[in-house]
Chain A
């Protein structure tokens, strides 16, 4: 990843750091931005909007067949039931995995990603290796993530757009009958909602013995 291996302990500011500072100073002096709003934006995505949102959606779809039906019919509205609305999640589509079909999401052109349910995308999602190869060799990509699917499972790759964002509903792991939504949500890792992982097994749940 170019520019991604900076050491964080040198005191000299890089050219990029200086450019960002210069731009923030300029736009503040012009009165176009309010610096406390920048802090609030950062804080929001650091603490309030992240993959835990999506995990709650998936857990409810697993636990409540009526909700699953609503989610598959109109994901934007079903996700809004949790209050997860807005920026980069205006038009959501939920795609459900089964033993026959595995769904995987990419944005080959940039980094379109369902912010309302997953937060900000990881660097690999935004980088050329994943974006280029997800559509040509999805099975090879999955192998790099340690996922091996049965040979007869079809892989569907969804290329996101500026408008439409996808949420993968991973398969519910066996041995979770009767679990609460909270407990189920612990199994729904971020990558399982992108389609580059499966949901965790009950034995891998955080805090599991």
Chain B
């Protein structure tokens, strides 16, 4: 679908900000947001396409005014709610209020290298769960 993420050919975004010897992460929270997203991807609950979809269907204003890892964070919050792994109330509270739902896989430190070498989560049909409009219209903290 088109939307704020569909930037090819758009005008008016100004000069490219090139940073010499740029680090991978610009703050510790970016490291955590990155790793949380990969670790939750490894649970096998959704496909890479779905995780992209949940970033790209952020409200356009929110998408364009968020930094890269802020987009990842918001996308992940929406994913866990859309797939019933946590409730909106739990996201707001920052702690568990309801029992966990079983997931296919839990990534432990010892499995990281092998998991990365094997590649991204598969896109099996069981993971192409149709997301309801309700799920994709929730914009946490937008």
Instruction: Assess whether A120 is in contact with B112, with CB atoms less than 8 Å apart.
Output: no
Contact of B119 among A19, A87, A120 (CB under 8 A): A87
Q: Which residues of A contact B131 (CB under 8 A)?
A: none
Q: Is A141 an interface residue (CB 8 A)?
A: yes
Within 8 A of A (CB), among B58-81: 64-68, 70, 73, 76-77, 80
Q: Is B142 an interface residue (CB 8 A)?
A: no
Most buried by B among A41, A111, A133: A41
- Partner-binding segment picked from A21-29, A58-66, A169-177, A178-186: A21-29
Instruction: Assess whether B17 is in contact with A123, with CB atoms less than 8 Å apart.
Output: yes
Instruction: Assess whether A109 is in contact with B94, with CB atoms less than 8 Å apart.
Output: no
Instruction: Assess whether A33 is in contact with B7, with CB atoms less than 8 Å apart.
Output: no
Size bin of chain B's contact surface: 35 or more
Cβ proximity bits A28-46 to B, threshold 8 Å, 1 near / 0 not: 0111111011111110111
Q: Kindly provide the distance from the CB of A9 to the nearest chain B CB, expressed in whole angstroms.
A: 12
Q: Which A residues have a C-beta under 8 Å from some C-beta of B? A: 1-4, 6, 8, 14-27, 29-34, 36-42, 44-46, 49, 85-90, 106, 108-111, 119-120, 122-124, 126-136, 141, 144-145, 159, 162
Q: Which residues of A contact B111 (CB under 8 A)?
A: 37
Contact of A41 among B38, B70, B86 (CB under 8 A): B38
Instruction: Assess whether B85 is in contact with A30, with CB atoms less than 8 Å apart.
Output: yes
Contact of B73 among A16, A45, A144 (CB under 8 A): A16
Q: Which residues of A contact B95 (CB under 8 A)?
A: 22, 25-26, 29
Q: Which residues of A contact B31 (CB under 8 A)?
A: 42
Q: Which residues of A contact B106 (CB under 8 A)?
A: 31-34
Q: Kindly provide the distance from the CB of B31 to the nearest chain A CB, expressed in whole angstroms.
A: 5
Q: Which residues of A contact B27 (CB under 8 A)?
A: 6, 8, 17
